[in-house]
Structure 1
Amino acid sequence: MEKQHSFLGTGWSFPPEFQKENKAVKMLQDEEDINSSLHILLTTRLGERIMVPDYGCNLDELLFKPLNLTVKTYVIDLIKRAILYHEPRIDVNKIAIDPVNELEGQLLINIDYTIRTTNSRRNMVFPFYKTEGTEL
C-alpha cells in the first residue's frame, strides 16, 4: 500500500513523540504542520539553531520592556519578518495584539494568515507571557 504525501508538508511533532505500535515518529501534516511550525518559529531565539542562526523571533528579549505602542509595533514587525523569511507556505493578512490581559503581563498575539496553496484563511492565537509562571 502506498503512502499518501501531503502537498502542504509533513513534519515531526514537537516535542518529538514516538508511537509504540509502529515504532515511528509521530508526524504532522497540512494545516497542523503549519500551525506547529509557526509556534516553533515564535518560541525560538535567534542563534538557537546552529545551522540556521537567523531562524526565530527573539520575543524573549522583550520580557522586561514596558508594554507601550513602540514595543507592540516592534513585536508585530518581528513576527511579520520571521514569517516572511521562514514560513513560505503562508501569507500574513494581519497581526494584532489583544490588550485584554496586558496588565497581568500577557500578550495575545492574533495572527491571521492565508495558506498559499489552498487559499484558505486560518488564524492562530499565540499567548506570550511577560511574567514568570510562579503559580505552579
Structure 2
Amino acid sequence: MQDDDSGFLGTGWAFPPAFDAPSRDAALVSGADDIAESLLILLSTRPGERVMRPTYGCDLRSIAFEHIDLNTATRIRTMIEQAVRFFEPRVTLEDVRLKLDRLSTAAVLRIELVYLVRSTNSRHNLVYPLYIEEGNAVGRVL
C-alpha cells in the first residue's frame, strides 16, 4: 500500500520478501506499513543474528519457559522500549501492554505496542504474539 507520507517514512521490501513474477520486482511497502513491518522484524530478531549489526534486535526469546510475573513483565517492557528507542527512530513508543492468554496447550503473550509516528504525528498500534510454553501461566492482564 503506497501512502502519501512514503517520502518521510521511507519504502522498503515487504516482509516476508515476495516478488512479482511478470516484472521480477520485489514487493515494497511504504509509510506506516513499512514502520509496522520494521517493528515486527525488530521484535523477532535476536541480538547477534545480523552479522553487520550484532546489537540489532530484541531478545524476547530469552523469556521462553519463564514464569510470567511482574518482574518478567517489567523485563519484557524494558527490552522492547530499549530496542525501539535505539533501532526505530521514526516512532515514539507511548505504551507497551502485555496480556497472557492460554490457547490449547501453548501460552501466548500478546505484546501491544502503542506508538506515534514522529513525522506525521499519527498514532498506531501493533500486536506481536509471543508463544511461550509455560505450565503455570494464567490468562491475565499484566
TM-score by length of 1: 0.88
Determine the structure 2 residue equivalent to 1:119.
121
CA contact (8 A) 2:100 2:107 kept: no
Deviations 1:60-96 (A, max 9, x none): 1110211111001100100000000000000001111
After TM superposition, where is structure 1 displaced by more than 4 Å over at least 4 residues in a row? Answer: none
SS of equivalent to 1:7: helix
**Is it true that 1:11 corresponds to 2:12 in the alignment?**
yes
SS of equivalent to 2:95: strand
Choose 58-67 or 35-44, whichever is displaced more.
Answer: 58-67
User: Aligned partner of 1:130: which letter?
Assistant: I
Structure 1, gaps ≥5 residues long: none
* Number of residue equivalences: 129
Distance between the aligned counterparts of 1:121 and 1:7, measured in 2? 16
Structure 2, gaps ≥5 residues long: 135-142
Determine the structure 1 residue equivalent to 2:64.
63
- Give the number of the structure with larger relative contact order, counting CA–CA contacts within 8 Å between residues 6 or more apart: 2
TM-score by length of 2: 0.85
User: Aligned partner of 1:44: which letter?
Assistant: T
Distance between the aligned counterparts of 2:101 and 2:66, measured in 1? 18
Deviation at 1:54, TM superposition (A): 0.5
RMSD of the TM alignment (CA)? 1.9
Matches within 5 A, 1:18-97: 18-97=19-98
Deviations 1:12-61 (A, max 9, x none): 11221111121111111001100000000000001000000000001111
